[in-house]
Amino acid sequence: MSYFVFIFLMIAFAIVYLWIGKRSANKMQGGDEDYFLSRRSLSMWTLTFTLFASQLGAGSLLGSAEAGYKQGWIGMTYPLGMFFGLVCLGAIFGPKLRGLNLTTVAQIFELRYGSKKLRQTASYLSIFPLFFILVAQIVGARKFFLAIGVDNHYFFLAIWSVFLIYTILGGLKAIVKTDIVQVSFILLLFSIAFFLKSDKGSVPFASLISTPFSFTASAFSSLLITTLYMGFEQDMGQKCFAATTPKTIRFSAILAGFLVLFCSLLAVDFGVSLKQSGVILQPGQDALISSVITFTNPIISSCIACGVLMVIFSTTDSLLCAISSNLVLDLPFWKKIPQEKRVFFSRSVTSIVGVLGLITSFYFENILYLLLQSYEFSVCTLCPSIMMAIFSKKISKKGAVSSMIIGAMSFLLLPREVFFVPKEVISLFLSFSAYFLTRAVFKEELILDNLSKMTE
């Protein structure tokens, strides 16, 4: 690959993104809805691109290509979970959440269960996994730099600082605009790579079809957990809350799911093709970029390397904004801050989270492990109570509390497998059971009219 092309593109993107961040900051009218929700103005196509960019990160590209190289078809498990999750978000969860006009997913605990403390608890349980998903993306970016031979910590810190600065300045508005630039670039490059792979005699996806498929219990668990997590995570919820109407989400999320599926499928196929070509990866080498170098040309491989890095960072900026929104909007002292100082406070929180994420990333290496563990913990603790709050008119505050406690304890204490069943599946089952048993024992049913607000 051409390092001149790579560095030139990185610098060009950095300049454009800083300009976008500054311009978004200048147009900001102040207030939390403007900084975190872009004044709920995301149109159908804008929402499609930003949802797509949110999920097209280290796991769906680098992790999937590596899994394809090592395991074949099974590498599609994580991307398929994201695909089904986005479809469910568009068809079921997203429109209902948007109909409530929330600012964070955790706010549903105050609206439906009538408890501010439960909202704060849910927010902290959401922040913890979101932070480690953020760390996983930074780890992916750092490892990708090393994989392409750019072993310069100062250059990495400079690029990370650019993403952090425009996120701090422009909030969700800047994130969405940079997402559009990034995903347009990567879609164009992946389409070109698709045809170049054919020109070199390697038919795209043919290697996947010829690879034996073995669907294990752990693969099913990964698929289930990822699908459920897409429906209520703050990162995705924040984008849904920022949509113009509930109907906007339906088409956008489903189309974003198909775009993620295409790019992830191509990444897995590149990994499988590399394995079948006889190339042996050395420690530190990346399956995706090694395959792109093998099946394309130096210019395209340099552009794809830059594009992949951009979309990894596009996931980190969304996570930064989501974590900050939880910390800022769900904290009890938020209302005491004067309106004119709220944007400054939000930017300060975002910068602190970004620095902490960068520091923490140097203590971890396994990307998919961090992602899946974070997804699993969040689903096991929050999924039952959120789903009941959305879909049931008869809910239980005590049931929500017991579901969180049992879900967290079983996930933390159970061994990796129990009678060949993954612990996260058992933890999720126990979490749901705790909700319904507690509601039955205490005969507590909060029948609220708020559900009628969830219009489509």
Per-residue DSSP letters for 84-123? HHHHHIIIIIHHHHHTTT-SSTTHHHHHHH--HHHHHHHH
- Distance CA(235)–CA(86), nearest Å, equals 12
Quick one: which H or E segment has residue 290? helix 287-295
Rounded CA Rg of the chain: 22
Q: What pLDDT sits at residue 450?
A: 46
Whether 387 is in a domain gets the answer no
153-157, 203-207, 421-425: least confidently modelled range: 203-207
Residue-wise pLDDT tens digits, 239-285? 988 999 888 899 999 999 999 888 888 888 888 888 877 777 776 67
Q: Which amino acid is at 207?
A: S
**Confidence band for 318, pLDDT divided at 50, 70 and 90:** confident
Q: Which residues of 296-314 are buried (b: 16+ CB within 10 A; e: fewer)?
A: beeebbbbbbbbbbbbbbb
Residue 419 has phi, psi (to 5 degrees) of: 55, 45
Whether 311 is in a domain gets the answer yes
Whether 423 is in a domain gets the answer no
- Distance CA(184)–CA(186), nearest Å, equals 6
Rama region for 278: left / alpha / beta (φ>0; ψ in -120 to 50; rest): left
The DSSP output letter for 284 is T
Whether 195 is in a domain gets the answer yes
Whether 422 is in a domain gets the answer no
86 near 51, Cβ under 8 Å?
yes
Residue-wise pLDDT tens digits, 351-378? 999 999 999 988 887 777 788 788 889 9
- Distance CA(235)–CA(237), nearest Å, equals 6
- Distance CA(103)–CA(419), nearest Å, equals 41
Tell me the percentage of the chain whose pLDDT exceeds 70: 89
Q: Which amino acid is at 234?
A: Q
Q: What pLDDT sits at residue 58?
A: 66
Domain that includes residue 300, residue range: 3-367
Which CATH number is 153's domain given? 1.20.1730.10
- Distance CA(15)–CA(12), nearest Å, equals 5
**Is the pLDDT reported for residue 38 higher than 90?**
no
Rounded (10°) angle between helices 367-391 and 77-88: 20
55 near 360, Cβ under 8 Å?
no
104-108, 144-148, 162-166: least confidently modelled range: 144-148
Q: What torsion do the CA atoms of 381, 384, 390, 394 make, to the nearest 10 degrees?
A: -130
Burial of residue 154 (number of CB atoms within 10 Å: 0-12, 13-18, 19+) = exposed
* Overall domain count for the chain: 1
Token pair recorded at residue 396: 């239980």
What is the average per-residue pLDDT within 168-179?
89
Q: What pLDDT sits at residue 449?
A: 46
pTM for this structure? 0.85
Whether 182 is in a domain gets the answer yes
The DSSP output letter for 446 is E
Beta bridge mates, 394:
447
Quick one: which H or E segment has residue 421? strand 421-422
Whether 373 is in a domain gets the answer no
Whether 285 is in a domain gets the answer yes
**Is the pLDDT reported for residue 135 higher than 50?**
yes
